[in-house]
Amino acid sequence: MLHAANLAEFSAVPVSHLSTSAVSASQDAYIRATRFERPTMVFDLEMLRRKYSALAEGLGTASIHYAVKANPAPQVIATLIAQGAKFDAASRGEIDLCLSLGAAPEDIAFGNTIKRASDIAHAWKMGIRQFAADAEDELFKIAENAPGARVILRMRIERSQADWPLSFKFGCSKREALRLMQLGSILGLDIAGISFHAGSQLREAGMWQDALDTAADLWSAAQDAGFALRILNIGGGFPAFYGQPVGNTRDYCAEVMASVRARFGDAVHVMAEPGRGLVAEAGVIVSEVMLVSKKDADDPLRWVYLDIGMFSGLAETIGEAIRYQIETDHDLCEAVEPSILAGPSCDSMDVLYEKTPVMLPAGLRAGDQVRILCTGAYTTSYSSVGFNGFPPLDAVFVG
Ligand SMILES: *Cc1c(COP(=O)(O)O)cnc(C)c1O
């Protein structure tokens, strides 16, 4: 419906070849009726409900624990509770948030492998029964503050094809996992299963194969060692549409589950922890162009500065890893021009896309509105409280 400039392609992709706008009718109605004074995410809760249903259909018997960090807005949590979702919380704050909105404690897993001892005790007191660990000291902390708790051991993933790969920060080796199973049992913990995160934004279901092979190898080694595991937590990684094809959600999830069942059979209880895949597509950020400039008349590239940047919600542009699609109100037939896109702050790191500039309408001017698509995940929660005096990303909810 509106001008779309594909951030993923430096070469001028004919705009008409791009998919139609991802802005929903209710988002569009809100945006047209509103004068925005600051960058604002317009989040469509109905899109979230539909996405949850599609994931749930595809994942079948798996339980869905929403990774709260992707978008911790109370409206999002409450909507997901009503849909029957469970939760993966990383901190006392996230646990209390879910509980305050009515989530049942047995539906919340404390999924961070790095926990303050007093937060473990708090979670245990509130009725949370499942905890993640990948280290000996963490098992001691859990045994002391949540005696007899159910523990899921997080294993390390060596390789990832994800667009937003995770580091070695989390997860231990197979050898260490087996040792921790033994230690956990001695400490009286219920070592119930294993988990992994194969990386965020796994565009194809086939990108799960390596991680599932690694998990299956550990699982059978555990069985051989006499540990009867019963829970497999496949983590997050479900993709969102940033311009490159990601396939139909239900089919994608069904394919992942088929790969899981082929290796682990039907008896294993499977948990999934989607974050991005659930909430990203339901959000669109409305932003304003602050300045368009060239540093020299002969420079081949111009700079386009927005009122939102790296520190006010678009942190995932770091390394240009996630490339958001951008829409404007300019005519579809207008020529496009490669542009370096930057945020408004006085920090010279606050540049969004420079290595691969963005094609934007040649007539783009200060004061024009741009809509940044698929921004419902890792934006509001990554926004500083107001670095350099620029207001943090606001959020409104429709649907
Ligand atoms: C962040 C996180 C997720 C969600 O990841 P996505 O790629 O956004 O789906 C799931 N599980 C754990 C343990 C996480 O830390």
Assign domain 4-42+283-398 one CATH number from 2.40.37.10, 3.50.50.60, 3.30.300.30, 3.40.50.300.
2.40.37.10
**How far is residue 231's CA from residue 346's CA, in Å, rounded to a whole number?**
48
- The whole-angstrom separation of Cα 147 and Cα 299 is 65
Distance from C-alpha of 342 to C-alpha of 307, rounded to nearest angstrom: 9
The pLDDT value given to residue 1: 35
Which of 208, 183, 213 is closest to 198 using CA atoms? Answer: 208
Rounded to whole angstroms, the Cα distance separating 162 from 237 reads: 8
Mean pLDDT, each 10-residue run in order, the chain (399 residues): 39 39 91 97 98 98 98 98 98 98 98 98 98 98 98 92 80 97 98 96 95 97 97 97 93 98 97 98 98 96 97 95 95 95 96 97 98 97 92 95
Do 4-42+283-398 and 45-280 come out as alike in CATH topology? no
**What pLDDT score does 306 carry?**
98
Give the residue whose CA is nearest to atom 10 of ligand 1. Answer: 236
Classify each residue of 285-302 as buried b or exposed e, where b means 16 or more C-beta atoms within 10 Å of its C-beta. Answer: bbbbbbebeeeeeeeeeb
- Residue 93, H or E segment: helix 92-100
Let me know: does 372 contact 19? Beta carbons within 8 Å.
no
Determine whether the shortest distance from the Cβ of 203 to ligand 1 is under 6 A: no
The per-residue pLDDT for 271 is 98
- How many angstroms does the Cα of residue 337 sit away from the middle of ligand 1? 36
Cα of 275 from ligand 1 centre, angstroms: 6
- Counting every residue written for the chain, the total comes to 399
Where residue 31 falls (left for φ over 0; alpha for ψ -120 to 50; beta otherwise) is alpha
Where do the domains of the chain lie?
A: 4-42+283-398, 45-280
Gap between the Cα atoms of 232 and 212, Å rounded: 10
Q: Quote the Cα angle for 35-38-40, to 5°.
A: 85
Contact, 397 vs 75, CB < 8 A? Answer: yes
Q: How far is the CA of 236 from the centre of ligand 1 (A)?
A: 4
- Cβ atoms of residues 284 and 36 within 8 Å: no
User: What is the predicted pLDDT for the residue at 6?
Assistant: 40
Amino acid 14: pLDDT: 36
Fold observed for domain 45-280: TIM Barrel (3.20.20)
